[in-house]
């Protein structure tokens, strides 16, 4: 079975919800073993044993939060089994630079061995604390399904 680890950071819970929906989508496809963790509790030795890593962050000041930047830097120093990666973010405004782009760039610099499964997903929230804008959650599930299908082929 393909093993996928999902790690996220969240201040108000929205990015966590996105991560959970993505996992739901992957499980619906089946044939994928999933694990999910808050970045503050993540065991990097465990992550290193997975085939794919999904990384999610709220957009803070046009980029990912510090905890996620540090995670990406640490992954670059590990002997990773993983070959695949995908990222997601939550944001309130459309005119800022997307955190997913910054995450993808940082991953490319720090862990060049990881290839993108799909382009990053940005999920809009109504306000600082959420909730997630209507119609966005189904996209998260679809994102998970797409990732699972791609990893299985
Ligand atoms: C300190 C701070 C800075 C933020 N900066 C941005 C920003 O630059 N662009 C944006 O779209 N949203 C910004 N936001 C809104 C967050 O993206 C929003 O709070 C987040 O998506 C909620 O996710 P969470 O519930 O997982 O924390 C900011 C929020 C905080 C708390």
Q: pLDDT value at position 13?
A: 98
Q: Which of 6, 7, 9, 11 to mutate to test the pocket of ligand 1 (most atoms within 8 A of CB)?
A: 11
Q: pLDDT value at position 153?
A: 83
Cα-to-centroid distance, 20 and ligand 1 (Å)? 19
Cα-based angle 23, 3, 118 (whole degrees, multiple of 5): 65
Note the pLDDT tens digit of each residue in 66-81.
Answer: 999 999 999 999 999 8
Residue 85: strand pairing partners: 53, 116
Q: pLDDT value at position 94?
A: 66
Q: Which of 15, 36, 88, 91 to mutate to test the pocket of ligand 1 (most atoms within 8 A of CB)?
A: 91
Q: pLDDT value at position 39?
A: 98
Kindly report whether the peptide bond that precedes residue 93 is cis, defined as omega within 30 degrees of 0. Answer: no
Cα-to-centroid distance, 122 and ligand 1 (Å)? 12
Q: pLDDT value at position 127?
A: 95
Phi, psi angle pair for 58, to nearest 5°: -70, 150
Could you tell me the two tokens for 97?
């630079």
Binding-site residues, ligand 1, Cβ < 6 A: 10-15, 58-62, 90-93, 96, 125, 128, 130
Element (H, E) at 29: helix 14-29
Q: pLDDT value at position 129?
A: 97
pLDDT tens-digit profile, the chain (153 residues)? 999 999 999 999 999 999 999 999 999 999 999 999 999 999 999 999 999 999 999 999 999 999 999 999 999 999 998 899 999 999 997 666 899 999 999 999 999 999 999 999 999 999 999 999 999 999 999 999 999 999 998
Residue 38: which residues within 8 A CB-CB, separation 6 or more? 7, 8, 9, 10, 16
């Amino acid at each position: 079975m393909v093993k996928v680890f999902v790690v996220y950071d969240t201040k108000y819970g929205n990015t966590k919800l996105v991560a959970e929906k993505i996992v739901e989508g992957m499980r619906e496809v089946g044939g994928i073993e999933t694990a999910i963790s808050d970045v503050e509790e993540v065991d990097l030795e465990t992550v290193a044993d997975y085939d794919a890593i999904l990384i999610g962050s709220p957009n803070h000041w046009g980029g990912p939060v510090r905890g996620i930047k540090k995670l990406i830097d640490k992954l670059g120093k590990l002997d990773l089994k993983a070959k695949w990666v995908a990222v997601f973010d939550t944001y309130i405004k459309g005119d800022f630079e997307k955190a997913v782009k910054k995450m993808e760039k940082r991953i490319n610099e720090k862990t060049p061995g990881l290839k993108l499964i799909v382009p990053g997903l940005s999920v809009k929230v109504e306000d600082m604390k959420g909730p997630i804008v209507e119609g966005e959650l189904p996209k998260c599930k679809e994102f998970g399904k797409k990732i699972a299908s791609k990893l299985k082929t």
